[in-house]
């Protein structure tokens, strides 16, 4: 691969007006990528029924998630080579193309393929947008911008199911995908003018082999947790084979990266304490966030009797809390440093999950609202702060690779989170049912995976007197998962202490340059 020498456009020499406009465009792109990860959650059954593909329903979500996760480290690294702009436009093109084709789908297999294309685009847009913050803004301003992106990430992930439900209810489910087109067009218009360009001082050989092996490893890892306990029992030959394959692929990947001229995921990153601690921090963060979101929605639907749309509206309480602290942490980071947020976030999040563990079958839906708000309030303290810590210690030539490595860990943690919470609920529910619903215990499938609306309707029709006991068992099992989740979040306190407490990394030269830029803008 040959890259021509170009003027290195960074926050030191870019027009502040252009930077602001471009950042708005990147934010719009990140929003639609986050939305599409969850937007089919509520309208999925409608889509599956119309396309006669109910048996493939789960793959609508899984295909997007797999391709998005695999693409994150690859696109981050490639943007270091070719610049953010070409990769961003490639990701936007894949995303829009996949959206149009998904909306035109006539069968479930077609839709799954097009969702995968969307995932490739989304997995490019998110890391490029976050890496661009390190190019566009000096360390003293990165917290504010990352806080904004953190708020957008939480907003997009949480309102996706709600938006999808509304669109499918009042329009056609196809507009769940077509709605991306005008948003992407706006993003394109805002980002056309100028982007940071790569600062490459030598010719590199692209690490295609490393990318391929890393992709296979991630697919195997994610499918293991996606299928684990359901399609693939945890203690089975298939599970053992998948774990063995993961170990082999990881060993091969490490060997490849040691010899690579320019590795897709440089092993030297793992010698930096802040980067390693941030990766671990974001993996646990993603685990707690997605696990809590998934089972708080299930609790609302089964215990409070809400519809999926109403449960989505209830989750806005968490979004509100997350947006407040995401923006606040970014704005005040240079005054407070990282440490207060990395302490407050885990404490508040754990407290919220401990509160949620006290909810019961007899509680009110209004008891859930403050829990979700406090949960979001705690989560919002952490995400953007950790990203700033990573970007401030990253080599500017490796900003994409370093940023994407942390995004990758959050994505992996999110996938594992749903599986881990399901495992805790599944392990607990059998004993709860034996105590609370002993009269029909032998008639009940002992798996939370089959505890769906149709099954509850069957129980309610045939054994109406037992339904409260079954719901009590389910509520107690989810409460136990929240309790364990709270304990897991406490671990973040200790992980956060490993991250260097940065306050303001701007040297005197940077301050002078910033002042000159500001004076130029005013003139």
175 vs 343: CA distance, rounded Å: 42
The tokens for 9 are 């456009």
Q: How far apart are CA 132 and CA 137, in angstroms?
A: 8
Residue in the block written with tokens 């709860």? 432
Question: Which own/partner contact pairs does 210-214 have at CB distance under 8 Å and 24+ positions apart?
Answer: 210/253, 210/256, 210/257, 210/260, 210/263, 210/264, 210/265, 211/73, 211/74, 211/77, 211/264, 213/249, 213/252, 213/253, 213/256, 214/70, 214/73, 214/74, 214/253, 214/264, 214/265
DSSP, collapsed to helix, strand or coil, labels residue 228 as strand
Across-strand partners of 232? 228
Residue linked to tokens 């639907």: 301
Global confidence as pTM: 0.80
What is the dihedral sign for C-alpha 412, 413, 415, 416? positive
Q: What percent of the chain has pLDDT over 70?
A: 87
Assign 374 a pLDDT band (cuts: 50, 70, 90). very high
Residue identified by tokens 């149009």 is: 100
* Burial of 237: CB neighbours in 10 Å, binned 0-12, 13-18, 19+: exposed
**Residue 515, pLDDT score:** 44
pLDDT at 391 over 90: no
DSSP code, position 358: T
For residues 419 and 465, give the distance between their C-alpha atoms in angstroms, rounded to a whole number.
31
CA distances from 101 to 98, 117, 176, 409 (A): 5, 9, 12, 30
Residue 275 CA from chain centroid, whole number: 18
Please count the helices (runs of H) and the strands (runs of E) in the chain: 20, 0
Residue closest to 39 by CA, chosen among 150, 147, 152, 175: 175
> 194 falls in which pLDDT band (50, 70, 90)?
low
User: Which stretch, 107-121, 257-271, 402-416, has highest mean pLDDT?
Assistant: 107-121
Comparing 8-12, 32-36, 365-369, 449-453, which segment has the lowest mean pLDDT?
449-453
| Helix or strand (DSSP H, E) at 106 | none
Quote the pLDDT of residue 252.
Answer: 93
Taking all residues of the chain, what is their mean pLDDT, rounded to a whole number?
80
Q: What is the pLDDT of residue 101?
A: 93
446-474: average pLDDT: 69
């Amino acid at each position: 691969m040959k890259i021509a020498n170009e003027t290195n456009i960074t926050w030191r020499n870019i027009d502040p007006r252009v930077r602001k406009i471009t950042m708005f465009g990147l934010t719009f792109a990140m929003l639609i990528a986050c939305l599409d990860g969850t937007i089919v959650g509520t309208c999925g059954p409608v889509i599956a029924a119309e396309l006669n593909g109910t048996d493939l329903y789960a793959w609508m979500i899984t295909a997007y998630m797999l391709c998005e996760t695999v693409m994150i480290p690859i696109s981050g690294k490639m943007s270091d080579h070719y610049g953010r702009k070409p990769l961003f436009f490639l990701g936007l093109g894949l995303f829009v193309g996949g959206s149009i084709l998904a909306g035109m789908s006539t069968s479930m297999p077609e839709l799954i393929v097009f969702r995968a294309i969307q995932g490739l685009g989304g997995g490019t847009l998110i890391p490029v947008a976050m890496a661009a913050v390190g190019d566009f803004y000096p360390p003293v301003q990165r917290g504010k911008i990352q806080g904004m992106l953190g708020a957008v990430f939480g907003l997009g992930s949480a309102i996706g199911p709600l938006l999808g439900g509304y669109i499918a209810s009042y329009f056609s489910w196809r507009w769940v995908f077509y709605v991306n087109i005008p948003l992407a067009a706006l993003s394109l218009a805002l980002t056309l003018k100028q982007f940071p360009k790569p600062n490459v001082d030598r010719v590199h050989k692209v690490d295609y082999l490393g990318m391929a092996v890393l992709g296979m490893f991630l697919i195997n890892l994610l499918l293991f947790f996606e299928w684990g306990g359901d399609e693939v029992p945890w203690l089975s030959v298939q599970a053992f084979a998948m774990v063995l394959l993961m170990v082999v692929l990881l060993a091969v990947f490490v060997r490849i990266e040691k010899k690579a001229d320019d590795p897709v995921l440089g092993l030297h990153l793992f010698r930096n304490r802040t980067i390693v601690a941030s990766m671990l921090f974001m993996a646990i963060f993603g685990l707690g966030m997605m696990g809590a979101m998934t089972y708080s929605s299930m609790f609302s639907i089964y215990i409070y009797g809400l519809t999926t749309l109403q449960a989505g509206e209830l989750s806005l309480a968490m979004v509100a809390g997350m947006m407040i602290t995401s923006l606040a942490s970014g704005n005040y980071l240079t005054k407070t440093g990282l440490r207060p947020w990395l302490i407050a976030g885990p404490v508040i999040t754990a407290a919220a999950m401990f509160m949620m563990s006290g909810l019961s079958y007899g509680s009110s839906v209004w008891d859930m609202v403050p829990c979700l708000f406090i949960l979001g309030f705690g989560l919002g303290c952490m995400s953007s702060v950790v990203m700033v810590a990573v970007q401030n210690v990253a080599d500017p030539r490796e900003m994409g690779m370093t940023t994407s490595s942390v995004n990758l860990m959050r994505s992996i943690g999110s996938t594992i989170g749903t599986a881990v919470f399901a495992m805790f609920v599944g392990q607990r529910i059998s004993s709860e049912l034996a105590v609370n619903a002993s009269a029909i215990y032998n008639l009940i499938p002992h798996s939370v995976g089959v505890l769906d609306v149709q099954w509850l309707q069957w129980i309610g029709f045939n054994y109406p007197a037992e339904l409260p006991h079954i719901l009590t068992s389910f509520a107690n099992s989810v409460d136990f998962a929240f309790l364990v989740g709270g304990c897991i979040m406490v671990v973040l306190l200790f992980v956060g202490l490993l991250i260097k407490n940065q306050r303001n990394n701007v040297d005197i030269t940077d301050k002078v340059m910033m002042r000159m830029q500001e004076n130029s803008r005013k003139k």
